[in-house]
């Protein structure tokens, strides 16, 4: 079962969209393996976005991601990384298709509501950065057998 990390960003928190956003992932059939509300430490955010350190938007991104609490969660399911990215839509809300989270709620490239892992390697790194192994939970839900065939 593939796992991926999402972060509900400060803009979504301030706009009170959390419930609507989390519901989209559950309705698709993804299962939460971990979730927490946190005020992200600056050092953690800097490490998370280190790949962008030389980019002109890096400082503003770190400031934004530490400006308010966020929800960090691990989702799991078949092809979870691609499924989550499809649910989110294009990074820039102005270009995201209607019906996607960013297409429905986003109008900006930085204030784009949710971060999501972009590869299995990135997902592993991000999950380890935000969660201890014992914080990840595996379980079966009653409807799981109706979501994915064997």
Beta strands at 31-38 and 114-116: parallel, antiparallel or unpaired: unpaired
Q: Which one from 14, 48, 52, 115 is the annotated catalytic residue?
A: 115
Q: 3-class DSSP state for residue 115?
A: strand
Q: CA 66, CA 78: separation in Å to the nearest integer? A: 31
Q: Which two tokens stand for residue 59?
A: 């400082």
Beta strands across the sheet bearing 70-77: 31-38, 70-77, 2-8, 114-116
Active site residue 115: yes
Burial of 52 (0-12, 13-18, 19+ CB in 10 A): middle
Residue 18 token pair: 């959390």
**Tokens found for residue 125:** 């790194």
Residues with catalytic annotation?
115
């Amino acid at each position: 079962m593939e796992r991926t990390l999402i972060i509900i960003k400060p803009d979504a928190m301030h706009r009170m969209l959390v419930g609507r956003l989390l519901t989209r992932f559950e309705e698709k059939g993804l299962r939460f393996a971990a979730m927490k509300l946190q005020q992200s430490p600056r050092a953690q955010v800097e490490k998370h976005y280190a790949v962008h350190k030389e980019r002109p938007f890096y400082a503003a991104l770190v400031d934004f991601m530490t400006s308010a609490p966020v929800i960090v969660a691990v989702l799991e399911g078949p092809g979870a990384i691609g499924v989550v990215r499809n649910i989110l839509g294009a990074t820039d809300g102005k270009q995201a298709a209607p019906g996607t989270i960013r297409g429905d709620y986003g109008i900006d490239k930085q204030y784009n509501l949710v971060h999501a892992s972009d590869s299995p390697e990135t997902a592993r790194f991000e999950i380890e950065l935000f969660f201890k192994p014992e914080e990840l939970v595996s379980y079966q839900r009653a409807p799981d057998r109706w979501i994915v065939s064997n």
